[in-house]
Amino acid sequence: MVKKEFNLLPIKNDYVFKRTFAYKGNEDVLIDLLEAILERKIVKVTIKNPEMVSEKENGKKFILDIKAELDDGTIVDIEMQTADEKNIEERSTAYISRMISEQLQAGEKYVKLNKAIFIGILDFEYYKRNSYHNIARVRFDEIKEDSYVYMGYKDQDEIASRYIEMHYIELPKYFKKNPKIKTKLDEWLYLFSGDEEKMEMVKRKNKKVKKAMDTLERISLDPKEREMYESIQTEEFLQRISENNFKEEGRKSEKIETAKKMLKDNMEIKFIEKYTGLTEEEIEEIKKQI
Reading the chain (290 residues) residue by residue, the pLDDT tens digits are 444 555 889 999 999 999 999 988 999 999 999 999 999 999 999 999 888 766 655 555 567 799 999 999 999 999 999 989 899 999 999 999 999 988 877 566 777 789 999 999 999 999 999 999 999 999 999 999 999 999 999 999 999 999 999 999 999 999 998 888 999 999 999 999 988 888 889 999 999 999 999 999 999 999 999 988 888 877 776 676 666 665 666 677 888 888 887 787 677 788 788 778 889 999 999 988 88
β-bridge partners, 61 = 55
Residue 99: the pLDDT is 93
C-beta separation of 131 from 147 below 8 A: no
Runs of H (alpha helix) within the chain: 14-21, 27-38, 88-101, 171-176, 184-191, 196-205, 207-221, 223-264, 269-276, 280-289
Q: Exposed/middle/buried for 135, CB within 10 Å: 0-12, 13-18, 19+?
A: middle
Angle at 172 between CA 91 and CA 86, to 5 degrees: 25
What's the pLDDT score for residue 265? Answer: 66
**Is there a contact between 28 and 208 (Cβ–Cβ < 8 Å)?**
yes
Q: Are 179 and 191 in contact (CB under 8 A)?
A: no
- The answer for residues whose C-beta is within 8 angstroms of residue 245's C-beta and 6 or more apart is none
Residue 4, pLDDT score: 54
- pTM beyond 0.75, yes or no: yes
Q: How many residues does the chain have?
A: 290
Dihedrals phi, psi of 215, to nearest 5 degrees: -65, -45
